Structure 1
Amino acid sequence: MAELESKADSHLQETQDATLTRNSPALSLKRSASPTCEDQDPRKRFKDSEESMDNQCTEQGGSKSQLADEIAQELECGCCSELLYKPVMVSPCQHIFCGSCCLLWIRNGGTNCPACRASSTTAAPSRPLQLVIDVLLRNAPHKARSVREREQADEIYKSGTIMRFPSPREVSPEPNVNISTEYARPCPHCSPNNVYGWSCPIPIPDPTVDLEHAWHIDDGFPTGHVQCGNCETFLALRAPSTTKCDFCKTHFCGIGVPSRCSAAPISLQQPHGFTDISDLIQSSDVYECFNSNTIEVEIMLDYITTQGLSPRHIYRDIVKHILEQPRQFQPLIEMDLFTISHVAAESDSSATPHTICRSCACEIFIWGLKDWWIRERRKGFLEESVMNRKDCPEGSGCVMQTEFDHAREFNHIEGKPVESEISSACSTPPNQTTETITELGSTEGDRTSSTASESAPVCG
């Protein structure tokens, strides 16, 4: 009986020990709650969880934007410093540029890579780069080039075109800075085998080769040579390309800048500084012809624009009118309108001029511009509002014509016929010409004054 009770007690003790073992925290498979969670409200825990997720998304967005910026920076064109558009890769250096930028570089004479200046052969489209750019723009559309920029680039470069760099030009020889400026240099015709087909009978010695016989500048011009009136290099007087202005007696080489280094027939010359109407607008001499009356100048400029005239056309009209006068250009020569330079004037100043330089053509243009405008007004092509303005009692000598309101209300251009004065002045003997011109107020010093522009003998 005692043994049975002992076994029962032993079994009960084992059962209790097993129960305690299962309920022990150290051996339980269920994780116990953290101490912080036990003391925290469930709603607060949910809010903190949301903030954590937002911060994580923000960090991911920031890193994405930073990545796009870094990629865009790596894909900048070496010419325009913007995101590549239709990229091309230069061989063999492999620098990358926009197709349009690279093509403009080649058109402007580029023979090597715009970035490293290394010798280059071709610039070909890069498909891998274009794919990367497409991916970048899908994720960062704001980095795309503007529509206008893309349109301009498309007009220049056609996608898929392979460009070839031209061969480099020969390097210019280094200038010899050690050559003294005290000696005259040979003219283009001094070399016996020059490309111009004519050689100087007495060439100028080259100071770099024969310094002992070199011509010193202090000794004047070398024999048979003078300086060009435009480029100021020495020229041969007897060379076929040499021309001389019959007004200022200046010689021109015809080689340096052919269109400028030459004296042309009078009616074919281009007045210096007057190519189109914009030159008339910017010229202070034009306004001085009209006594600074800007209203009259504006009326004339509007007329010139409407009629499609150029300064050269006006110059030819002035020359044509001068040639119709009895003494032609002689009154202008006698009033010292043209500055004699470079070479002393020949003794026969009454010889009929045939050629003229650009500077002297400009003098004739300015001298005859106002009288040309008076003759044009008489043709009746102006608006009635302009022609019907009241004549100012003071005429072209009015001191108020520089005021806007007064100049707009009154006419200060005298339109009365002056043909009798023209014939009288142009037929005056040479010894009386200066006096006649002075009385009419058309000397060189005051030809821009009011009386000079209106009453001078209209020989131009």
Structure 2
Amino acid sequence: MEDSATPSISVQPPTDAEHPTSRAQQLTLKRRASASFADALDDSLSRKRMKEEHDTKDVSEQPEETAAAVSTSDAALADQLAQELQCGCCSELVYRPVVVAPCQHFFCGSCCVLWIRNGGTNCPHCRGLSTSVTPFRPLQSVLDVLLRAAPHKARTERERQQADEIYTGTTMRLPTPREASPEPDINPSDFIRPCPNCVLGNPYGWRCPQPIVDPNVDPENAWPLEDGTPPGHGLCGNCENLLALPSPLTTKCDFCQVSFCGIGVQGRCIASPILSQHPHAISDVGDLIQSQAVYECFNSNTVEAEIMFDYLTAQRITPRHIYREIVTHIQAQPGAFLPLIQQELFIDVHAVPAGPDPEPDSPRSRICRQCAAEVFLYGLRDWFLRERQKGFLEESVLSRKDCEDGSDCGRQRDLAHAREFNHMIPNTAPAQSEPQEEAAVAQEVAVPSTPPSPSDIPAPPSSGTNTPEESAIEVPVAFNDGPPADVPVVNDASNVPDDNSMH
């Protein structure tokens, strides 16, 4: 039986009129179970857009203090970078940098050239053995960026101009270190030690006929230092040690008259045939660049010297080849080496005393390294004058006008003048006077310009008979219509003119 007391409740769904929210809105407010890729992309783009707008707002609203702090930070960075890019030689911001291999230290190109010219054979920073110097292009790019941001860091215009005159941007090679000569055999005692050939059973196969007594063995018969060099001995011109003059290893230079032992340093303690010798301290173009004597050959004209250096590098000409051509040219001249000997080029080239000098015109067959260097420097400029005639130089070099003063110009140290004018002009002998001029000068000296006075005419002898030689004396007489003529005058009292007849 139904319970009529319990009321029935019916639940009706709400209508759209009763609730303002539409069904579409209800569906939009619902949370989805998973997000699609498109929704994630839209969300990412929205966040990126919001960040850009925020950054833009921050920049626009950045206070002046923050901008000043950023500028100060940039200046500090430029200063720190300039400090790190200092040259190891001049301690300034590196200019046209070069890098040394294999140590990889960098320097200004001009500083490295001056280092080589002054005798440097290794890295200027670490003193390590180095082989080549090349332009450092990556570092140059960093310098360009730095100077665009901080132009005030650049070197002065004068410094850049001087550096460009020294370094041309080419690859260089550091000269190889030279072998040092052994130290002289300094004797602390008051006696001379025996030479290498004085020792019995020495390894050189020859014993000195006048051996020197070893002061450590027989001090009573030792040779005192105050007595000078023992007979049959001398001092080597290279190592300055005692040598035996008659030894088969001993050689003598025919130019400086100094002997060499042939034992101390191989290839140096020797006087070789002239054409086969090596000039001292001149092995390659690098040695020429660092030799001050080479620049003196060109009257300190660095422009002409550098033109020769570039020519030698381009033509691959070695100093030894130049030396041989100079010697061949000198030997072909009538006097050969006589002009060099008369100029005393080979006097006191060594620290040891020289032997007796033969006649100046005596033949010369052997030469030492120091004298070979003197011959090289003597003929270097004339050799390059002859070499220029082959036409291998650039047109810009050959087209320069000749300087009026030539090699005697006193402005050759002025770089602007040296670049504009050519000073490599052969030395010409002073022009001789014409034969007609010489004859006129001789006649003017022989003939007086005014006629002689009567007092200048010799008086006749007081007595005695005149000889034929005395009776005719030639005296110049002046005529009104011509030059003075010589007429015979007889020593007769009637023929002697008086004062009135002369006017």
Normalising by structure 2, we get a TM-score of: 0.47
The aligned amino acid for 1:363 is: E
Shift of the alpha carbon at 1:420? 12
User: In the aligned structure 2, how far is the partner of 1:349 from the partner of 1:415?
Assistant: 27
User: In the aligned structure 2, how far is the partner of 1:185 from the partner of 1:352?
Assistant: 35
User: In the aligned structure 2, how far is the partner of 1:257 from the partner of 1:236?
Assistant: 16
1:207 aligned counterpart, secondary structure: coil
Shift of the alpha carbon at 1:348? 3.2
The question of whether the paired residues in 2 share the 8 Å contact of 1:198 and 1:239 is answered with: yes
- Per the alignment, residue 330 of structure 2 pairs with 322
User: In the aligned structure 1, how far is the partner of 2:339 from the partner of 2:411?
Assistant: 32
The question of whether the paired residues in 2 share the 8 Å contact of 1:183 and 1:216 is answered with: yes
- Counting aligned pairs with the same residue, the percent is 55
- Per the alignment, residue 241 of structure 1 pairs with 249
User: In the aligned structure 1, how far is the partner of 2:198 from the partner of 2:416?
Assistant: 63
Q: 1:347 to 1:276 in 2, by over 3 A?
A: closer
- Per the alignment, residue 42 of structure 1 pairs with none
User: In the aligned structure 1, how far is the partner of 2:192 from the partner of 2:198?
Assistant: 12
Instruction: Give 1:376's match in structure 2, choosing from 381, 387, 396.
Output: 387
User: In the aligned structure 2, how far is the partner of 1:386 from the partner of 1:202?
Assistant: 62
Instruction: Give 1:275's match in structure 2, choosing from 283, 306, 311.
Output: 283
* Aligned: 1:398 with 2:409: yes
Shift of the alpha carbon at 1:297? 0.5
Shift of the alpha carbon at 1:181? 3.2
The question of whether the paired residues in 2 share the 8 Å contact of 1:249 and 1:343 is answered with: yes
Shift of the alpha carbon at 1:251? 0.2
Instruction: Give 2:239's match in structure 1, choosing from 231, 235, 243.
Output: 231
The question of whether the paired residues in 2 share the 8 Å contact of 1:293 and 1:402 is answered with: yes
* Aligned: 1:309 with 2:313: no
* Aligned: 1:252 with 2:260: yes
User: In the aligned structure 1, how far is the partner of 2:413 from the partner of 2:389?
Assistant: 24
Shift of the alpha carbon at 1:306? 0.8
User: In the aligned structure 1, how far is the partner of 2:238 from the partner of 2:303?
Assistant: 36
The question of whether the paired residues in 1 share the 8 Å contact of 2:237 and 2:259 is answered with: yes
The question of whether the paired residues in 2 share the 8 Å contact of 1:187 and 1:235 is answered with: yes
Q: 1:343 to 1:407 in 2, by over 3 A?
A: closer
The aligned amino acid for 1:303 is: Y
1:235 aligned counterpart, secondary structure: strand
Shift of the alpha carbon at 1:419? 10
* Aligned: 1:336 with 2:344: yes
User: In the aligned structure 1, how far is the partner of 2:358 from the partner of 2:322?
Assistant: 32
The question of whether the paired residues in 1 share the 8 Å contact of 2:213 and 2:222 is answered with: yes
Shift of the alpha carbon at 1:392? 1.1
Shift of the alpha carbon at 1:415? 4.8
- Per the alignment, residue 358 of structure 1 pairs with 369
String of CA shifts for 1:28-63, please: whole Å, max 9, x gaps. Answer: xxxxxxxxxxxxxxxxxxxxxxxxxxxxxxxxxxxx
User: In the aligned structure 2, how far is the partner of 1:397 from the partner of 1:225?
Assistant: 47
- Per the alignment, residue 172 of structure 1 pairs with none
2:363 aligned counterpart, secondary structure: coil
The aligned amino acid for 1:411 is: N
* Aligned: 1:208 with 2:219: no
String of CA shifts for 1:120-160, please: whole Å, max 9, x gaps. Answer: xxxxxxxxxxxxxxxxxxxxxxxxxxxxxxxxxxxxxxxxx
User: In the aligned structure 2, how far is the partner of 1:415 from the partner of 1:347?
Assistant: 33
Shift of the alpha carbon at 1:343? 2.7
Stretches of structure 2 that go unaligned for 5 or more consecutive residues are 1-184, 432-503
The question of whether the paired residues in 1 share the 8 Å contact of 2:342 and 2:360 is answered with: no
Question: Number of paired residues?
Answer: 244
Q: 1:226 to 1:190 in 2, by over 3 A?
A: same
Stretches of structure 1 that go unaligned for 5 or more consecutive residues are 1-175, 422-460
- Per the alignment, residue 378 of structure 2 pairs with 367
The question of whether the paired residues in 1 share the 8 Å contact of 2:192 and 2:225 is answered with: yes
User: In the aligned structure 1, how far is the partner of 2:417 from the partner of 2:430?
Assistant: 31
- Per the alignment, residue 386 of structure 1 pairs with 397
Which has more radius of gyration? 2
User: In the aligned structure 2, how far is the partner of 1:349 from the partner of 1:328?
Assistant: 11
Shift of the alpha carbon at 1:276? 0.8
2:312 aligned counterpart, secondary structure: helix
Shift of the alpha carbon at 1:349? 3.5
The question of whether the paired residues in 2 share the 8 Å contact of 1:377 and 1:415 is answered with: no
The aligned amino acid for 1:275 is: S
Q: How does 1:38-77 map to 2 (within 5 A)?
A: none
User: In the aligned structure 2, how far is the partner of 1:220 from the partner of 1:202?
Assistant: 15
User: In the aligned structure 1, how far is the partner of 2:355 from the partner of 2:267?
Assistant: 24
1:312 aligned counterpart, secondary structure: helix
1:285 aligned counterpart, secondary structure: helix
The aligned amino acid for 1:227 is: L
The aligned amino acid for 2:340 is: L
- Per the alignment, residue 296 of structure 1 pairs with 304
Q: 1:409 to 1:189 in 2, by over 3 A?
A: same
- Would you tell me which structure has more helix in proportion to its own residues? 1
Shift of the alpha carbon at 1:320? 0.6
The question of whether the paired residues in 2 share the 8 Å contact of 1:242 and 1:253 is answered with: yes
String of CA shifts for 1:213-240, please: whole Å, max 9, x gaps. Answer: 1111111111111011111111111111
